[in-house]
Chains A and B, each alone.
Chain A
Amino acid sequence: MARAKKNSAEKTPEASVFYIVGLVLLGIVVAAFIVSLFWTPFEPDATDAASKLMAPCASHPFGTDNFGRDVLSRIMSASKYTIFISIAGVAIALALGTIAGIPAGYFGGFTDRGIMLIGNSIMCFPGILLALVAVAVFGASVGNVIWALGLVFAPTFARVCRVGTMEIKELDYITHARVMGVRPLRIMTFHIFPNLVPQLLPATVIGLANMTLFESGMSYLGLGVQPPDASFGKMLADAQAYVRVAPWLIIFPALMLVFYILGLYFISEGLRISLSKGGK
């Protein structure tokens, strides 16, 4: 009875609905990004004092900002930095996190303690200070900030991997493999890592979202994307002052940001459902 219910629940169009909605939302952001590589309605950085803070109209469908720059063009070019920073940052965090987290969970003992010691220390260290250090040492470029972001977020992934590995390695087939003399590296790569994917996927999406937020938070200290370039988060931070007089400065970047995070989220949900179904 319970099994039947479960099957009917997860076989339903749920997974594909998630995929479709997710792809549509993400598609909007990615399409804006791709088109911006070739064409934007206006030059995104060109200021024009005469037409500042214009409400959405025919020539500027998303309005203009306090510099008279076209918001639509800026959103399109901002999608580039948002996508780039979040994906690159999460990729670094994910790579560092799995490389550190799986062995920590698998071997336990001193390996575990050493790795978690470093991870916990980084987690306790203010991310903004870390970014400040990266900028002071390597210069204020987007790339350096991405490394700093990756490092800040790595321990989160390491924790997820570690806990997951500790659960999985107690399963029968891993014990079997170990008894049969399969090398630890092989076990970790081919047996444990694939099974961590369902747990890592939501963490990755959360990471992507947090990364986007953290990046905009850093712009308070002038780190991250440097003006006149923008990311969604930075556009929002800049627009804060105009929340009452020019709400379109908030609404459109906020929508795009929400589309981006939500799109990723739905896709990961769809993936998780298909994976857990395939795993049974």
Chain B
Amino acid sequence: MQSKASYLIGKTVELILTLLVVSLLVFAAFSVIPGDTARVMLGPDATESQVELLRAELGLDKPLAARYLSWLLGLLTFNPGKSYAYNVSVSGLIAQRLPVTIGMSIIAMIMVILISYPLAVLSSRKPGRLGDQICSVIGHVLFAIPPYVASLLLILLTSSVFSLLTVGNYVSPSEDFFEYIGCLLLPSFAVALPKIAMSFKFLRSSIIEQKSADYVRTAKSHGMSDLKILIRHVLPNSNVSSITIISIILSDILGGSLIVEQVFNLPGLGRLLLSAISRRDFPLLSGIVFYLALVTVLLYFISDIAASFADPRIRLK
């Protein structure tokens, strides 16, 4: 249909505009905050002339606006430039850190879905019963445990009690895939814990709501089995809100794994972002923010489309 095509074009324009606004924000932020890359790299013992020398070498003596424009032009040719502090290409640096961040997001997401869906379905079968109440209470408590408290407790438990998984020894997937998964399990679990509770809660209430809807009662009176109703009607309809929730959770995990990366000493994107900020590395930071923004926008983009397919009442505009 034509409306779908124009919808897609509109969304793409929106995506490009968003990315442009984000990069402008980064630029604006950098023109405001104090700090100088060359000085950070050389430390306090360097003399002014040494700092000046490095600044010229890195091209920092040009105004920020000029550097921003050349960065933007570089993007048109898919070249996000070179990091000041690391002296290597930004895309290479990001690619190097991706296995951690993507791996953690995927594993955490799988944990969220595997645990929260069955639990939600189970407890919504007989809302108010003991099983449901226990699940709900555990869910509430889990939700109230901050990820880094969970990380600390998990580290304590595993290293002193079980000594099962090695903490803090990151193995890249090219070295040993299973060890790579192994070293990400704990941090992913720490990230996933509150999200499991969150997703459980939303799913449960949305299933209960759907179950009381008229069409479910009609289906029931027509003799449809409970399971069939659940799969055919209830779950698809609760998907509308759960799709939104899942995309929120995913972008949360992407942006929120920073502290967990810090505690577990994992070389992920969050830590790269932090060091780009603290070293005032403009190309690197712009690159990471741009990349994260792209992923986030795409996620919402997909969730919008998925929601419109799941519920035709939400019209695509």
Direct A–B touching, Cβ under 8 Å = yes
* Alpha-carbon separation in the docked complex, A246 to B33 (Å): 38
- Closest A residue to B25 using CB positions: A125
**B277→A120 contact, CB < 8 A:** no
The one of A112, A124, A209, A213 that contacts B292, using a Cβ cutoff of 8 Å: A124
The one of A121, A236, A244 that contacts B21, using a Cβ cutoff of 8 Å: A121
* Alpha-carbon separation in the docked complex, A137 to B133 (Å): 49
Kindly specify which of B58-66, B70-78, B90-98, B148-156 makes contact with the partner chain: B148-156
Kindly specify which of A48-56, A86-94, A253-261 makes contact with the partner chain: A253-261
The one of A109, A123, A216 that contacts B317, using a Cβ cutoff of 8 Å: A109
Chain A residues lying within 8 Å of B217, measured Cβ to Cβ, are: 2-3
**B128→A113 contact, CB < 8 A:** no
* Alpha-carbon separation in the docked complex, A113 to B126 (Å): 42
**B140→A262 contact, CB < 8 A:** yes
The one of B14, B141, B244 that contacts A159, using a Cβ cutoff of 8 Å: B244
The answer to whether A59 has its CB under 8 Å from any CB of chain B is no
Chain B residues lying within 8 Å of A123, measured Cβ to Cβ, are: 251, 296
Chain B residues lying within 8 Å of A1, measured Cβ to Cβ, are: 220
**B18→A8 contact, CB < 8 A:** no
**A217→B259 contact, CB < 8 A:** yes
A90 → chain B closest CB, angstroms: 16
Chain A residues lying within 8 Å of B173, measured Cβ to Cβ, are: none
**B145→A167 contact, CB < 8 A:** no
Known: A12-B128, A125-B26, A132-B277. A265 touches B143 (CB 8 A): yes
**A120→B18 contact, CB < 8 A:** yes
Chain B residues lying within 8 Å of A183, measured Cβ to Cβ, are: none
* Alpha-carbon separation in the docked complex, A254 to B156 (Å): 15
The answer to whether B122 has its CB under 8 Å from any CB of chain A is no
Chain B residues lying within 8 Å of A159, measured Cβ to Cβ, are: 244, 248
Interface flags, B114-138, vs A, CB<8A=1, else 0: 0000000000001110000100000
**B274→A3 contact, CB < 8 A:** no
Chain A residues lying within 8 Å of B289, measured Cβ to Cβ, are: 124-126, 129
B215 → chain A closest CB, angstroms: 12
* Alpha-carbon separation in the docked complex, A233 to B205 (Å): 30
**A233→B146 contact, CB < 8 A:** yes
**B147→A2 contact, CB < 8 A:** no
The answer to whether B164 has its CB under 8 Å from any CB of chain A is no
The answer to whether A144 has its CB under 8 Å from any CB of chain B is no
The answer to whether A196 has its CB under 8 Å from any CB of chain B is no
B29 → chain A closest CB, angstroms: 5
A75 → chain B closest CB, angstroms: 15
Chain A residues lying within 8 Å of B156, measured Cβ to Cβ, are: 243-244
**B314→A129 contact, CB < 8 A:** no
* Alpha-carbon separation in the docked complex, A218 to B199 (Å): 26
Chain B residues lying within 8 Å of A265, measured Cβ to Cβ, are: 140, 143-144
Chain A residues lying within 8 Å of B216, measured Cβ to Cβ, are: 2
Chain A residues lying within 8 Å of B230, measured Cβ to Cβ, are: none
Interface flags, B1-37, vs A, CB<8A=1, else 0: 0000000001000100110011001101100111000
The answer to whether B169 has its CB under 8 Å from any CB of chain A is no
Interface positions of A from 257 to 274, Cβ below 8 Å from B: 257-258, 261-262, 265-266, 269, 272
Chain A residues lying within 8 Å of B198, measured Cβ to Cβ, are: 206
* Alpha-carbon separation in the docked complex, A14 to B148 (Å): 31
Chain A residues lying within 8 Å of B278, measured Cβ to Cβ, are: 221
The answer to whether B297 has its CB under 8 Å from any CB of chain A is yes
Point out which of B29, B194, B255 has the most chain A C-beta atoms below 10 A from its C-beta.
Answer: B29
A108 → chain B closest CB, angstroms: 5
Known: A124-B292, A132-B33. A213 touches B317 (CB 8 A): no
The answer to whether A10 has its CB under 8 Å from any CB of chain B is yes
**B248→A118 contact, CB < 8 A:** no
A154 → chain B closest CB, angstroms: 14
Chain A residues lying within 8 Å of B127, measured Cβ to Cβ, are: 6, 9-10
The one of B10, B149, B259 that contacts A254, using a Cβ cutoff of 8 Å: B149
Known: A108-B317, A118-B21. A243 touches B152 (CB 8 A): yes
Interface positions of A from 208 to 247, Cβ below 8 Å from B: 209, 212-213, 216-217, 220-221, 233, 236-237, 240, 243-244
A119 → chain B closest CB, angstroms: 9
* Alpha-carbon separation in the docked complex, A133 to B21 (Å): 16
**B152→A250 contact, CB < 8 A:** yes
- Closest B residue to A214 using CB positions: B256
* Alpha-carbon separation in the docked complex, A44 to B251 (Å): 38
The answer to whether A99 has its CB under 8 Å from any CB of chain B is no
Interface flags, B68-109, vs A, CB<8A=1, else 0: 000000000000000000000000000000000000000000
Chain A residues lying within 8 Å of B259, measured Cβ to Cβ, are: 217, 220
Extra contacts besides A121-B21, A163-B241, A202-B201 (5): CB < 8 Å: A121-B293, A122-B25, A163-B244, A220-B262, A265-B140
Q: What are 12 A-B residue pairs whose CB atoms fall within 8 Å in the complex?
A: A2-B212, A2-B220, A118-B21, A120-B300, A124-B297, A125-B22, A129-B26, A133-B29, A243-B152, A257-B144, A265-B140, A266-B140
Please name the 4 residue pairs, one residue from A and one from B, whose CB atoms are nearest each other, closest first. Answer: A124-B293, A9-B128, A261-B144, A121-B21
Binding site for A on B (CB under 8 A): 10, 14, 17-18, 21-22, 25-26, 28-29, 32-34, 126-128, 133, 140-141, 143-149, 152, 156, 194, 198, 201-202, 205, 208, 211-212, 216-217, 220, 241, 244, 248, 251, 255, 258-259, 262-263, 273-274, 277-278, 285, 289, 292-293, 296-297, 300, 307, 313-314, 317
